[in-house]
């Protein structure tokens, strides 16, 4: 385990492609709102979505770290590869989830 965590590893925990798909789906739903929504509501909804999805993805990677180490497709993720310890991953997801709940 390394003592410093690379920003790319933290970003990989958030699964940016999945997060982007969820945000796009949320934005599509907001765009379909019958009377439109205030810009502030849209921005805070999208920001909260990014934060909560990133926290959920990080928690998912934490929970599946042992099985990820066994599969060739996932063994190079930060937790199974040993580039980050489990505590640091949990510490990065909890604040994100708390911020998202305050925004919503």
Is the pLDDT at 74 greater than 70, yes or no?
A: yes
SS3 string, 42-54, reads: HHHHHHHHHHHHH
Q: How many CB atoms lie within 10 A of CB 94?
A: 13
Is the pLDDT at 1 greater than 60, yes or no?
A: no
Q: List Cβ<8 Å contacts ≥24 apart for 21-30.
A: 22/49, 22/53, 23/49, 23/50, 23/53
Q: What is the pTM of this model?
A: 0.80
pLDDT per residue over 18-56, tens digit each? 999 999 999 999 999 888 899 999 999 999 999 999 989
Domains of the chain, residue spans: 7-103
Instruction: Using CB atoms within 10 Å of the CB of residue 102, give its burial: 0 to 12 exposed, 13 to 18 middle, 19+ buried.
Output: exposed
pLDDT of residue 3: 56
pLDDT of residue 101: 73
């Amino acid at each position: 385990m390394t003592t410093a965590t690379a920003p790319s590893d933290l970003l990989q925990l958030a699964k940016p492609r999945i997060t982007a798909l969820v945000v796009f789906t949320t934005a599509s739903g907001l765009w379909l709102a019958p009377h439109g929504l205030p810009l502030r509501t849209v921005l805070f909804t999208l920001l909260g979505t990014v934060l909560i999805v990133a926290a959920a993805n990080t928690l998912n990677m934490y929970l599946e770290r042992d099985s990820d180490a066994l599969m060739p497709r996932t063994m190079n993720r930060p937790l199974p590869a040993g580039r980050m310890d489990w505590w640091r991953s949990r510490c990065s997801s909890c604040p994100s989830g708390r911020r998202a709940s305050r925004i919503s």
